Structure 1
Amino acid sequence: MKDVRQSLSQRMDLNEPAFDFVWNNWATKKGLIFVWRAIEERIPTATALRHRGMNLSETICKTCGAAEESAAHVLLQCNLAKRVWEKITMWIRIPMVNTDGNLKELLSELNEMNCSRKMRKVIQQLLSKQCGLFGKSGMRRSSAIDKARYK
């Protein structure tokens, strides 16, 4: 039991407040699970794959080449993702969201918006759908993954 507690305490910051992920019943389960996995950096981006032991020659984003390919980059910070978020926010008539942070911050920002509960559920549904679409397109960038070998 002591070993388990030590292992968990090394992996977790116990001083950090817990994050409440809102399971929106309007969004698809697949989309919600994808967002949850992206928050935890558990989707197969180049940096996550390298962290899991794959020998990748480079982890730079194949779309923009500006930064390492992490979940936050692919879904929020990449130039393409920022343009999509700009269009979505214009379409649903909300202020532009902060795409410079991470998904936890974005979800918190969306949950704190001054709008009806129904509108927040619609926004969360769009978030899960948009992230799922980006995830599919990002994960198809398999040329680096196909060339990778486990260490």
Structure 2
Amino acid sequence: MWLWRPDFTRGYSVRGAYQLLTSQPPDSLDTAADLIWHKQVPLKVSVFAWRLLRDRLPTKSNLVARGIITPEAQSCVAGCRDMKSAQHLFISCSIFGSLWSSVRSWIGLSSVDPQHLADHFLQFTFSSGGLRARRSFLQLIWL
């Protein structure tokens, strides 16, 4: 997300806009995409995660967008009546998304789930701090 903080002494400048754009931290999607290619994860799992993070899975909402199924058929299979998107299915669904709290409890973590898949992956992976072995372990669990 970009946040423009105007320079009241000089006003808007192309240089200021360039500095704003180049000083931003990398996009969470790009950072997450770099982490899904783990040597201990089968290639098909990494490809699935890559497609998931880019919303390229054949979810009901994507099938409706392409005209393959009707809008009436896009409700979640869990019966929660929400539109079945990858975001909903993996994070916000009251049935399937609630599995994350069970996983966190199982491994002794506590956190709040972000509402975007890439942010969720990064928070879960880096929730252990700087310990590389633990981070790798959490990365494998998420994938």
Question: Considering the TM-score relative to the shorter chain, is it more than 0.5?
Answer: yes
Normalized against structure 1, the TM-score is what? 0.66
Compare relative contact order (CA 8 Å, sep 6+) and give the higher one, 1 or 2.
Answer: 1
1:111/1:85 CA distance change after superposition, 3 Å: closer
1:26 Cα deviation after fit: 2.1
The one-letter code of the counterpart of 1:120 is R
Letter in 2 for 1:35: A
SS of residue paired to 1:82: coil
Contact map agreement 2:61 2:85 (CA 8 A) in 1? yes
Q: Please give the TM-score of this superposition, normalised by the length of structure 2.
A: 0.69
Residue 47 of structure 1 corresponds to: 61
CA RMSD of aligned residues (A): 2.1
1:63 pairs, out of 78, 95, 105, with 78
Relative to 1, partners in 2 of residues 1:28 and 1:96: Cα closer, same or farther, differing over 3 Å? farther
Q: How many correspondences in the alignment? A: 113
Letter in 2 for 1:88: V
SS at match of 1:86: helix
Which digits, 9 at most, give the CA deviation of each residue in 1:17-65, with x for residues without a partner? 5412112222222222111101111111100111122132331112032
Question: Unaligned stretches of 5+ in structure 2?
Answer: 1-20
Identity %: 22
Answer whether contact 2:87 2:117 (CA < 8 A) is retained. Answer: yes
Deviation at 1:120, TM superposition (A): 1.2
Distance in 2 separating the partners of 1:123 and 1:97 = 16
Q: Where in structure 1 are there 5+ consecutive unaligned residues?
A: 1-14, 129-151
Mark the structure with the bigger radius of gyration: 2
Are residue 30 (structure 1) and residue 30 (structure 2) matched? no
* 2:81 paired with 1:96: no
Residue type at the aligned position of 1:63: A
